[in-house]
Amino acid sequence: MCFQEGRRAWPAGVASAIAFMLRPQAAVFYVFVLLIWLVNVRRLQHIKWHHIVGVGAPLVLALGFSLWRFHYHTGYWGGIAENANMNLTAGRCHNINTQAYRTEREWRTAERKDDQTNGRRVTLPGFRTLKNWVPEWSPLALRPALKGDSIRFVGYIGDPFIHKDIRAKCYAATGLLEQVRYSFVNMMLQWFVAGQWPETSKGHKHTLVVAEVYRYFFNTVVLLPSLVGVGLALRGVRRDPALAVLAACLVGAMIIAAIFFGDPRLRTPYDPVSIILALYAVAVVLPAWRAWRARRAGATPSPAA
């Protein structure tokens, strides 16, 4: 409403701030919205500076509160979500498990037994799916940077300094091209590989059937047209900026998946946007294809009598 008509900036700002506090990854989307506005600043003359303040002020306050809260609980600045460190390590190292231990003795015991269930543990089922089902020669194969399924250390599981050192080792072990492949694999997890959680866990076999049917339907019917719709919407960013904002939702989700990891539960909230963009792509491409066929038929010389 604010972007299209220049109304209700403060409600939009409050809603955006709440969304950011619930899902900090939304910050990527807000950056894209700002860029779209800058590209169209002369065309969107109904958006004034007080609208920008109305949307931006709640977001800035939410960011400040999140930074303070993070510092209050952890003792250091520079973050808004502790799980970002664990997720980024997994995305850049492709380890299935991250395990933290209180003492060296616990760590040595786990290393000796290769125990992947003890300690403070974070696991990514999508990576285990890659290990169990994707052959080694595939571009989607799981190839951990540090060779093992688990990364284990002594300390707090969300310690940013420990994770920074671990990621440095992973960068050195893989190189740039393998990191690019990791990003590609992470995005593919979001659409093609990983199953919907918690349906993939024990005791959900009945709902898993429904989730899997929807996943294959989405990948077959919605995904490709929606990606075409993203391209068309971004190409027409000056003609229809509101549609470009919808495309920014999916682009932001792709960027987050590439950097960290992909999972259907992170994609599903954007499915309505995907459906809208898929329908938009069909509405644009189908008439263009029919017109192309008509021109081709008209250009074909008639057979001699």
Supply 202's token pair.
């024990």
Contact 134, 141 (CB under 8 A): yes
Return the H-helix or E-strand segment holding 152.
Answer: strand 150-154
SS3 state of residue 246: helix
Q: Averaged over 106-121, what is the pLDDT? A: 86
DSSP state of 196: P
Q: What angle do CA 139, 143, 144 make, to 5 degrees?
A: 150
The per-residue pLDDT for range 174-229, each reduced to its tens digit, is: 999 999 999 999 999 888 776 776 676 777 777 878 888 888 888 888 988 999 99
Q: Which range among 66-80, 148-162, 188-202, 242-256 shows the weakest confidence by mean pLDDT?
A: 188-202
Per-residue model confidence (pLDDT) at position 305: 46
The pTM score is 0.84
What is the SS3 assignment for 130?
helix
Q: What's the average model confidence in pLDDT over 107-113?
A: 88
DSSP state of 77: -
Burial annotation 28-37 (CB, 10 A radius, 16+ → b, else e):
bbbebbeebb
CB 71 within 8 A of CB 123: no
Judged against a pLDDT cut of 60, whether residue 156 lies above it is answered with yes
For residue 222, CA distances in Å to 211, 214, 253, 272 come to 15, 11, 16, 10
| Dist CA 233 CA 116 (whole Å) | 45
**Percentage of residues of the chain with pLDDT beyond 90:** 37
**pLDDT tens per residue, range 9-44:** 888 889 989 988 888 888 899 999 889 988 888 777
Token pair, residue 100, equals 């933290």
Higher pLDDT, 74 or 152: 152
